Amino acid sequence: MCGIIGYTGSLKAKNILLEGLTALEYRGYDSAGISMFEKDGIRTIKAAGKVADLAKKTEEYQDLNGTSGIGHTRWATHGGVTECNSHPHTYGKVTLIHNGIIENYHELELELAATGRYPVSQTDTEIVAMLLDSLYTGNAIAAIKAAAAQLDGAYAFCIMFADEPEVIYCLRNASPLLACKSKEGTFVASDVVALIGYSKDYFALPEQQIARLTKDSITVTNDMDEVVIPKMLHVSWDITAAQKKGYPHFMLKEIHEQPDTILSTILPRITKEGIVDFTVEQIPDTIFKDVNRIIITACGTAMHAGLIGRVMLEKLLRIPVEVEIASEFRYMDPIMDHYTLVITISQSGETADTLAALRLAKSEGATTLSIVNVKGSTIDRESDYVLYTQAGPEIAVASTKAYTAQLSCLYLLTYRFALVRGTITTQQCKEYVTELRNVIPAVKEALTLNKHIDDICSNLADKEDLFFIGRGIDYPLCWEGSIKLKEISYIHSEAYAAGELKHGTLSLITDGVPVVAIATQSKVLTKMISNIREVRARGAFVILITNGEIELEASAYDYPIVLPKTPDYLTPFTAAVALQLLAYYSCVHRGYDVDQPRNLAKAVTVE
């Protein structure tokens, strides 16, 4: 969740570290700091607040000419948001930055106190610096290995030792670290967006292996002190993909990129005959033939995509599909065997709870297939099979294009699954694929609702509560609409199955309370209309979202959002656009930060 950047080379480190931290701002953070090797030793500058605050503070120092250093943006876990708690932390000869959580830090703190070592901050990270300093006798790798043997939890460390100038050591467990080399020097970061300006070729540091960065080289060694050659990866997108390109916010840009990301996700998996094929991904048909049960596990928006996937998979396969929140999955003692397919979904490929669920599934003998957006991520590397969403970098904390790309993968999986198992014919598969491809122009048309939804949201600026209601496939859409709205506009919202209103929720519907009614499914439309009338009769301010036509008198709603007509089962794509725009413009009208909502981070690498 924190941002990490490290550099050693020939250029001024301060500039590279600040630029890297700026590139990582989208991940969410509350403070920032940098440490550099200078002539008088390691110099550390920290600030609570934004990278801009840190940059302004560095201007007070005219002698920051060092060419090696580390930088960090913190998302508070242990201790409040203070300069003291910010990273980097220094104890003795050790200076380090850390992403993750050390679960046994308090036990270590007590042990270190017995040796006369006490922290000045409230963080688990400083305890690691103290531990390393207590173990360091001049051999950095030996000290790091000894410290790692005592640590429980997730971590990614970048470490500098005062008596080894211009060298950075790195170690990780669960939390991501990427490294690359260019003519300017060597780099390490928690996200490729901080590296791509220097090199498109990089590697993910393997877990529990130590990287040593100097100006000219990166050396990786394993626990046997053997040099390891890591697998190199290549970034296929350009640095401009991580820029706003004239849009006021990354979120709006990414909403408008969805026709392209859906096409990029779908097209490589469709043969010239018009059927779905996963040969390129080396996903064998045997995994579809032998499965008698599917579990989808994910967090947040990715889990909501899984709920849509469940509807589609059960509809065409007629086998049981469960969707489990990854943070609860491990603790439910789930039943799995080698006939179970576990599908994990994660934009970053580093979501800690989803990674833990994946590892549990593998330990129980289940086949694992993951849908991720980041090649080389931990979930990518540890899964049996992987589908990449091809969404490119998603910078806004609120996920948009990753969600519809995940849906695209789930629909493609459903079609291939059903074709292999014989529950649909080749001709039917071709028809489904054609309809899925036709979603792309429908999504483009849905984007033209921009101004209309902006106008609607002007009525929500002063609202503090809102309800989403829907039936069938619209119900999981309500979940996604609700999380989008609350995470950036801070309007308290809840998603309800419309048929449950009369079992308690109607007591909360009073004059002027906004209700977003999603009514796109013809199978349950008459029931849904009755539910809309129920909330309207109690004074609700109703925003109606329909699939191409309105079958309700105008007096039953305040504002309509009429989506381009698509087959009912494909409305999640067009409805998602409307719901994203609803959240976006609600946030804008309320005057909040769209791309970096409070208390949230893009990649959730802690449990």
C-alpha–C-alpha distance, residues 416 and 412, integer Å: 6
Q: What is the DSSP letter of 242?
A: G
Q: Which residues does residue 91 pair with via DSSP β-bridges, in sequence order? A: 94
| DSSP assignment string, 443-485 | HHHHGGGHHHHHHHHTTTTT--EEEEEE-TTHHHHHHHHHHHH
Alpha helices in 115-227 (DSSP H): 124-135, 140-148
Which residues, at least 6 apart from 177, have a Cβ–Cβ distance to it below 8 Å?
Answer: 4, 156, 158, 170, 188, 189, 190, 204, 205, 211
DSSP code of residue 127: H
Q: Which one-letter amino acid corresponds to residue 293?
A: R
Cis peptide leading into 88, omega within 30 of 0? yes
Beta bridge partners of 518: 470, 545
Which amino acid appears at position 296 of this protein? Answer: I
**Contact between 80 and 61 (Cβ < 8 Å):** no
C-alpha neighbours within 13 Å on the C-beta side of residue 531: 26
According to DSSP, the β-strands at 340-346 and 367-372 are parallel
* Max Cα distance, the chain (Å): 80
DSSP state string for 345-387 = EESSS--HHHHHHHHHHHHTT-EEEEEESSTT-HHHHHSSEEE
**Cα 178 from Cα 20, distance rounded (Å):** 13
Q: Is 188 helix (H, G, I), strand (E, B) or coil?
A: strand
Are 335 and 363 within 8 A, CB to CB?
no
**The one catalytic residue among 401, 430, 463, 602:** 602
Return the DSSP state at 498.
G
Backbone angles phi, psi at 437, to 5 degrees: -65, -30
Q: Are 543 and 558 in contact (CB under 8 A)?
A: yes
Active site residue 84: no
**The two three-digit tokens of residue 68, written as one number:** 């090696």
Query: In terms of Cα–Cα distance, which of 366, 430, 348 is closest to 178?
Result: 348
- For residue 345, give Cα distances in angstroms to 341, 357, 370: 13, 11, 6
Separation CA 365–CA 114 (nearest Å): 45
Q: For residues 572 and 578, what is the distance between their CA atoms, to the nearest angstrom?
A: 10
Distance CA 136, CA 589 (A): 54
Other C-beta atoms closer than 10 Å to the C-beta of 602 total 24
* 180 a catalytic residue: no
The secondary element (H helix, E strand) that includes residue 51 is helix 51-58
- What is the enclosing helix (H) or strand (E) of 111? helix 105-113
Task: Please give the Cα distance from 246 to 253 (Å, whole number).
Answer: 8
Residue of 2, 170, 180, 429 marked catalytic: 2
Catalytic residues, by residue number, are: 2, 602
